[in-house]
Chains A and B, each alone.
Chain A
Amino acid sequence: MFKRPLSSSSRALQQVSKASQSKKFNLSDLEFGKLSKAQIAYLDRVIRVDQSGELGANLIYNAQYVVLANRYPHLKPVLQHMWDQELHHYSTFNDLQVRRRVRPSLLTPLWKVGAVGLGAVTALISKEAAMACTVAVETVIGNHYNEQLRVLMNQYDVPIYEKNTGEVISKESLEMTLRTSPELRQLKEFIKEFRDEELEHLETAIEHDAKKAVPYMLLTETIKLLCHGAIYTAERV
């Protein structure tokens, strides 16, 4: 009932918090409230699926690089750049998976084989098909990261307490950076950064003639479907 105050009462609340604004809080004064079971479960899924996804992306670029780098020397730095970024994403999520005590996907061996296969087969068809594969994968991953960000922004509104007294602190009296726990803020920053880089890869792939791949629609739509299936499974298993 207090979550959605009427407009008049919310105005009143804001006035109260302005009055108490005089006190300035540091991060060390705050204790962030308990996350619900559903919130924990979602974070669990986020880390597991992102780790598997980055593992896959990393191996796709790896396979593309092996097949294409010597045949088309001008693609070498492009692929290398994308691959390096994926490696950084992958190691970040590996680190999170270990430190946050999330179990890795049980199907990790399958993701490895599938990703190498996908990267190698599309690269063997043609360099345009490889780029079309990148387009499809990065589209799905970009959207998926955005969806995760939306949930992490909207659904993680936990109460914040003052550490010593245990009193609830109103969010309005805190600076923006203190309104979410460092842990969640950092996770969101990672996801934002990675999403931007994935979309950069998408653009790079289009600049390198992805749309000239034959049959473009069939390739991209099939790969998108595969990615959606993999995401659904990696979240759960």
Chain B
Amino acid sequence: MSNRFWSRGLQSVRRYHAYDHPASNLIVDPTKLENKLLTKSLEYIPQFGFSDQCISEAIKQMQYPDSIRSILTASFSGHSTELQLMVHWLKTQRQALDSEVNSPDSQLHSITDEYERASFLINKRLSYNIPIIDKLSGGISQLLVPYNMSFSLEELYNLGDDIAFHAGDASIDFAWYAKRLSLSMVYVSSELYMVQDKSADFVNTKKFVEDKVKNIDHLGEAYENIEQWAFFNAISAFNLVKSQVSRG
């Protein structure tokens, strides 16, 4: 597993976004047969959870022959059908978040602050979990199997990148990585919180997300303050030395 993880490593994370070649940026290609099948299977998750039964049911409903199952079981990735279902769920929800951002009447466009946008996006993404909230922990446990970690981390990273980008992040150096990492961590912890959350309309989860995102904001500010302080002191130290050693 570790070998596979490192060979995928940085190469597998999201790539150049080609605006003028829109077909390059599709998260899920809806014309592919396996995606059609998996998308149909998602409809049965509230009933069966993230299990193989959803796929059987989808095959039955779409009136495909049973042998169509081999499109998933013999797939190149070698994942269990349950994991494929979970990954497909994550990808379609990420696609849904993307459409939300691109729709002109989304509430997002009225928010200007980067961190408020981020918490809006995280809350939006979490709200997609509501219809399947009872079954979600089963799906999450698929992702936490060590063998599957590299794929779940990749998907998580892509979600973090989407959130950071759509929130309006413009960092050009190491902060780029720090921001995505912290937003991903906020997402994971909020999702785990949400699974346990019994409050009406998940108000506690919303508050949890907002608090966590605010913490990132404060952390970023603290870092910038320290950097400025250090830079100022470096220059004044240099000038002090210069004033003492120069003759005149």
Partners in one complex: yes
Q: Is the interface of B mostly helix, strand, loop or mixed?
A: loop
**Chain A 191-214 interface residues, beta-carbon cutoff 8 Å to B:** none
A47 at the interface (CB under 8 A from B): yes
Residue of B nearest to A236 (CB): B10
B231 at the interface (CB under 8 A from A): no
Count: A-B pairs, CB below 8 Å: 71
Per the bound structure, the CA–CA distance linking A158 and B20 in Å amounts to: 12
A225: chain B residues at CB < 8 Å are none
Known pairs A101-B165, A103-B13; A183 contacts B176 (CB<8 A): no
Check if A33 sits within 8 Å of B21, measured CB to CB.
yes
Candidates B10, B21, B161, B169; contact of A35 at CB < 8 Å: B21
Q: How far is the CB of B106 from chain A (nearest CB, A)?
A: 19
A97: chain B residues at CB < 8 Å are 172
Residue of A nearest to B19 (CB): A183
Known pairs A98-B170, A104-B172; A31 contacts B15 (CB<8 A): no
Chain B interface size, as a band, is: 20 to 34
Q: How far is the CB of B4 from chain A (nearest CB, A)?
A: 18
Check if B21 sits within 8 Å of A108, measured CB to CB.
no
Residue of A nearest to B180 (CB): A103
B109 at the interface (CB under 8 A from A): no
A125 at the interface (CB under 8 A from B): no
A47: chain B residues at CB < 8 Å are 16
B22 at the interface (CB under 8 A from A): yes
B177 at the interface (CB under 8 A from A): yes
A153 at the interface (CB under 8 A from B): no
Known pairs A51-B172, A109-B174; A101 contacts B16 (CB<8 A): yes
**Chain B 185-215 interface residues, beta-carbon cutoff 8 Å to A:** none
A109: chain B residues at CB < 8 Å are 173-174
Which listed segment binds B: A38-46, A69-77, A138-146?
A: A38-46
B14 at the interface (CB under 8 A from A): yes
Residue of A nearest to B164 (CB): A101
Q: How far is the CB of A125 from chain B (nearest CB, A)?
A: 21
Q: How far is the CB of A237 from chain B (nearest CB, A)?
A: 7
Check if A181 sits within 8 Å of B21, measured CB to CB.
yes
Contact with B along A93-104 (1 / 0, CB 8 A): 010011011111
Q: How far is the CB of A157 from chain B (nearest CB, A)?
A: 12
B32 at the interface (CB under 8 A from A): no
Per the bound structure, the CA–CA distance linking A17 and B20 in Å amounts to: 24
Candidates B10, B17, B171, B172; contact of A100 at CB < 8 Å: B17
A101: chain B residues at CB < 8 Å are 14-17, 161, 165
A4 at the interface (CB under 8 A from B): no
A34 at the interface (CB under 8 A from B): yes
B10: chain A residues at CB < 8 Å are 103, 106, 236-237
B18 at the interface (CB under 8 A from A): yes
B103 at the interface (CB under 8 A from A): no
Q: How far is the CB of B76 from chain A (nearest CB, A)?
A: 14
Candidates B15, B169, B177; contact of A106 at CB < 8 Å: B177
A106: chain B residues at CB < 8 Å are 10, 174, 177
Residue of A nearest to B11 (CB): A41
A184 at the interface (CB under 8 A from B): yes
Contact with A along B23-36 (1 / 0, CB 8 A): 11000000000000
Check if A35 sits within 8 Å of B13, measured CB to CB.
no
Contact with A along B152-178 (1 / 0, CB 8 A): 000000000100010001111110110
Check if B173 sits within 8 Å of A40, measured CB to CB.
no
Check if B173 sits within 8 Å of A108, measured CB to CB.
yes
Q: How far is the CB of A25 from chain B (nearest CB, A)?
A: 15
A182 at the interface (CB under 8 A from B): yes
Other contacts beyond A100-B18, A183-B21: 14, CB < 8 A? A33-B21, A35-B21, A41-B11, A47-B16, A94-B172, A97-B172, A98-B169, A101-B15, A103-B13, A106-B177, A109-B174, A181-B18, A181-B21, A237-B10
A: residues with CB less than 8 A from B are 31-35, 40-41, 43-44, 47, 51, 94, 97-98, 100-104, 106, 108-109, 158, 181-184, 236-237
**Subset of 23 A-B contacts with CB under 8 Å:** A33-B21, A33-B23, A34-B21, A34-B24, A40-B15, A40-B24, A41-B15, A44-B16, A47-B16, A51-B172, A97-B172, A98-B169, A103-B10, A103-B176, A103-B177, A106-B10, A158-B21, A181-B18, A181-B20, A183-B18, A183-B20, A184-B20, A236-B10
